[in-house]
Structure 1
Amino acid sequence: MDEQIISDVEQWLDEVVIGLELCPFAAKPRREGRVRIAVSHARDEEALLNDLQAELERLSDTPAEQLETTLLAIPDMLEDFADYNDFLDAVDLWVEHFGWEGELQVASFHPQYQFADTDSDDPGNLTNRSPWPLLHIIREESLEKIIAHYPDVDAIPERNVKRMKALSAEERNRLFPYLFG
């Protein structure tokens, strides 16, 4: 089961995130093998927070030259986006409580991801739709270094929404088989 989950996330990362250049910063660490994909089989929030804590510690304790970022897949809970979104409040409190603020941050991806003030079928939501609920742990220092040298970083979200809206039905089916297949 874990192999399939990891394969799903790798395919999404390679074909959607990197392939469509949604995150212009992801290709290099992926190519260099510095992206960890972990699977949590937690079935309650406390266990998931413990798994998240372990991944936060692993990332913090490992040099960026060895491990740049972690994607924590959550196949056994938080299938409903509203529940997942509510859980993100606990994640933020956890990061703050354990002193990771300013060092690590957690980004969110989910199969039902929906931005505020959008319809559920808005193609722009595809920018954050992953095959499994994910917590993406990011090193803030690395992100700040990359952003400092990237022109017009604020335009990335709008550019990504346009890219998703421009996809044909065939491309959506191929790239998001867990949604349209």
Structure 2
Amino acid sequence: MDDDALIREALRVYRRYQLEVVEGLDLCPWAERARREGRVSERVLLQPHSALEPSLAAIQELAAAPELEIGLLIYPRLTLDYAEFDRFVAAIRQGDEQNWPLGEVPFAAATFHPGAVRSGEEPERLVPSIRRSPDPTIQLVRRSVLERMRQGPAEGTHFIDLQSFSFEQLPRPDQRPLRERVARANAETLKRVGLPAFDRIIADIRRDRDESYARLGEAASPWS
């Protein structure tokens, strides 16, 4: 197994998801600009187990770079199912909170997992299926960015942006909670695109992932 090659492939297939799903479907209107401005950083963690220390160390590194507003921790060898990975993310949140003074935790963390199942077509129930990244992934968003987002409209998925807004352009700010706003916007996008078409994009990225990893001698995805 070639670790360097796996890191390259994990980044490549994740970026397909970023470009074809997040940016290609306009799920976040600022995602492309944020990426181009270098405000996003990815870390590929090759651990096959659920130890917390590598992830906590990566969060510390990301927090030390104030220009970064989104971090992505990608786990191509972690075989936890959706529920297990969600608990893993919760444990990382708890561990990270212990590293900071009260109220100063820099990032909010969200679970992305290829094994997420759509449980309905209501806005909140669609969120996990939108977050079907090719590998289990934790998205870290600076809380300062979320605070800015909460004061203005949100027109995308939880790839929360990375751009500050001009409040003068927001004469009628939406007062609904941020999570509700983004979930409703996501649901409208999927209704327009069509769930079958969306699922085909996700399936093709997963096929690409599985075939490229197999060429490197990696085990087949348990979510295929």
TM-score (norm 1): 0.81
Q: Any idea what the Cα deviations from partners look like across 1:56-106, whole Å, max 9, x if unmatched?
A: 111211122xx2211111111144112112212212211222127542111
Contact persistence 1:71–1:134 (CA under 8 A): yes
Q: Distance in 2 between matches of 1:3 and 1:162?
A: 34
Q: In the alignment, what sits opposite 1:6?
A: 11
Distance 1:179 1:161, change over 3 A: farther
Q: Is contact 2:13–2:205 with CA below 8 Å preserved after alignment?
A: no
Distance 1:165 1:13, change over 3 A: same
Cα distance change of structure 1 residues 137 and 31 upon mapping to structure 2, 3 Å threshold? same
Alignment equivalent of 1:160, drawn from 182, 186, 195 = 186
Residue 177 of structure 1 is matched in structure 2 by 204
Report 1:28-47 matches (<5 A): 28-46=33-51
Preserved CA contact (<8 Å) 1:38 1:73: yes
Q: Unaligned stretches of 5+ in structure 2?
A: 1-5, 154-172, 209-224
8 Å contact from structure 2 (residues 96, 105) kept in 1: no
RMSD: 2.6
- Structure 1 counterpart of 2:113: 110
Report the structure number with the largest CA radius of gyration: 2
Matches within 5 A, 1:32-181: 32-46=37-51, 49-64=52-67, 67-99=68-100, 102-114=105-117, 118=119, 124=126, 125-150=128-153, 151-152=173-174, 153=178, 154-168=180-194, 169-178=196-205
Instruction: Determine helix, strand or coil for the equivalent of 2:25.
Output: coil
Residue 187 of structure 2 aligns with an amino acid whose one-letter code is: V
Give secondary structure in 2 for the equivalent of 1:45: coil
SS at structure 2 position matched to 1:107? strand
Alpha-carbon contact 1:8-1:131 (below 8 Å) kept: yes
SS at match of 2:55: helix
| Alignment-mate amino acid for residue 59 of structure 1 | L
SS at match of 2:28: coil
